Amino acid sequence: MQTLSRGRKLALVATAVASLVATAACSGGGGSSSSSKTVTIWSSTDPLVFAGLKKEIVAKAKAEGITVNMQKVDNINQLIMTKIQANDTPDIAMIPQPGVVGDIVKRGKAQDLSSVLDMNALKSSMTPGTLETGTFNGKLYGLLVSMNVKSLVFYPKKAWDKAGYTAPTDFASLEALTDKIKASGTPPWCFAIGSDAATGWPATDWMEDLVMRYGGVQGYNDWVTHKTKFDSSLVKQAAAEMEKLLLTPGNVAGGRSSIASTAFGDADNPMWDAKPGCMMLKQGNFIVSKDFMPSKVVSDVDANIGVFGFPPATAGGDNPTLGGGDLATLLSTSDSAKKVMKILADPTLGKDTAGSSSFISPHKTFDMSLYPNDLTRTIASTAYKSTAFLFDGSDAMPGAVGAGTFWKDMTAWISGQENLDTALKNIDQSWPTS
């Protein structure tokens, strides 16, 4: 009898514990119920932008009685798909790739934002092209919250001005400038594509900028949706230009093998030496940050860093801007989450963030004086004034290509493991059939 009663006690305890676990698991995570006052946001954006936006969003939501739990996560594209399969998602996810938003929509987990937000207001304030990137089947599912601009070429201002170089206006003058810098004994381009598991992406940005300039908006969109193949004259023309500018011996220090083995964040390091080791870096605006550049350079941005928009193929021709950003995707039906989405759609969002980070608002109406320096104002106006804002193509392609073979085969081509034709054919072959 002694053992029995002990057993009974044990059973009782176990039942109690099991019910506790159930409660703990429910409060632990997952999309909140419709009456919840807590909203979870996941983002993997740049640390400074994240910190600034978090502060603003939390404060604004608090005024409406909502607690926002904004978390920085790594690898959000992979994580969110895993969590969707596990049915354990945040209420709002800031996805940096439209292709992934499309995958979420396909699985029926994203909420239509057209009915939540004031679409007319957005249409008048957002930079042209930015709403289209988050639109699937005619409905808005991803709202661009912060923007980055990639069609930019940075240069070391002091050395540049001393040598008397001027910003090129078309590809011919860009090539001439490249040769001129090389003739002076300096490798003209700073270029590196290393990025751990994402190695290769800076090369895809180059390809995209070149394709959209040769093919225009229509040609670019056809390529991104695979109506135009990689193995096509348009893409080959772009690759040939890239090869001419970057892979000609002497144009990048260390040549092909150095490009693939160096981290993209280190590409600009030689640019800031007393005698610059390279003069031009085509990169997104995010690179202007203490995370990537020496602090002595970033401490006085306008004195040290110059920037010009990547030129059109022919002067006065199509000059779209390549960009990216975080698309806020609503994964919950709760009223609080919808209210937070409205906060994210506010054209003044970022007013306390812009001054202290690389944040650029997707809203043309954003107060330019809030940007911290002339460099950022130049960058933002490049985007606001471009003939079209085109989202990063590799981000918009299916994951298998945009985060897979496009990166890998560009890497293989640049490092000399594959020739261009093989690389382009491999990418075409990997395009999902369904």
Partner 1 sequence: MGTKIVTTIITVLAGVGAALVLYWVLNRLAELLPGHWEDRIKPYLYILPAYLAITFYLIYPAVETVIDSLKDSSSTAWVGLDNYTHLLKTHDFQQTLFNTLLWMLIVPAVTVALGLGVAVLADRLKPKAESTAKTIVFLPMAISMVGAGTVWKFLYTYRPEGRSQIGLQNAIVTGLGGSPVPWLEQNEFHLNSLLLMVMLLWAQVGFSMVLLSAAIKGVPGDTIEAARIDGANERQIFASVVVPQIWGTVITVFITTLISVMKIFDIVYVMTNGNFNTNVLGNEFFNQLFTNFNNGAAASIVVMLMVATIPIMIYQVRHFRAEEAAA
User: What residue ranges bind partner 1 (CB under 8 A)?
Assistant: 7, 10-11, 13-14, 17-18, 20-21, 24-25, 27-28, 78, 81-82, 103, 106, 196-200, 253-254, 257-258, 260-262, 269-270, 277, 398-400, 403-404, 408, 411-412, 415, 417, 426, 429-430, 432, 434
Residue placing its CB nearer to partner 1 in the complex, 302 or 428: 428
Please report how close the Cβ of residue 268 comes to partner 1 at its closest, in angstroms.
Answer: 13
Q: 3-state DSSP call for residue 331?
A: coil
Least distance in angstroms from the C-beta of 326 to partner 1: 19
Closest CA to 329 of 106, 54, 65, 50: 106
Nearer to partner 1, 198 or 315 (CB): 198
CB atoms within 10 A of CB 377: 16
What is the three-class DSSP state of 177? helix
The HSE-up count of residue 251 (CA atoms within 13 Å, CB side) is 20
Structure token pair of residue 296: 């002595």
CB of 399 to partner 1, least distance (A): 6
Q: 54 vs 83, which CB is nearer to partner 1?
A: 83
Do the Cβ atoms of 123 and 100 come closer than 8 Å? no
CB of residue 207 to partner 1, shortest distance in Å: 17
Minimum CB separation of residue 257 from partner 1 in Å reads 4
Shorter beta-carbon distance to partner 1: residue 82 or 225 = 82
In angstroms, what is the minimal distance from the CB of 86 to partner 1?
A: 13
Q: State how far the Cα of 434 lies from the Cα of 329, in Å rounded to an integer.
A: 23
Q: Coil, strand or helix: which one is 272? A: helix
Q: How far is the CB of 21 from partner 1 (least distance, A)?
A: 5
Residues 285 and 361: beta-carbon distance below 8 Å: no
- CB 125, min distance to partner 1, A: 34
Pick left, alpha or beta for residue 238 (phi over 0 → left; psi -120 to 50 → alpha; otherwise beta): alpha
Q: How far apart are CA 78 and CA 42, in angstroms?
A: 13
Q: What is the DSSP string of 361-424?
A: -SBTTS-GGGSSSHHHHHHHHHHHHSS-EEE-HHHHS-HHIIIIIHHHHHHHHHTTSS-HHHHH
Of the pair 82, 365, the CB lying nearest partner 1 is at 82
Q: Cβ(193)–Cβ(413) under 8 Å?
A: no
Q: Which is nearer to partner 1, 47 or 416 (CB)?
A: 416
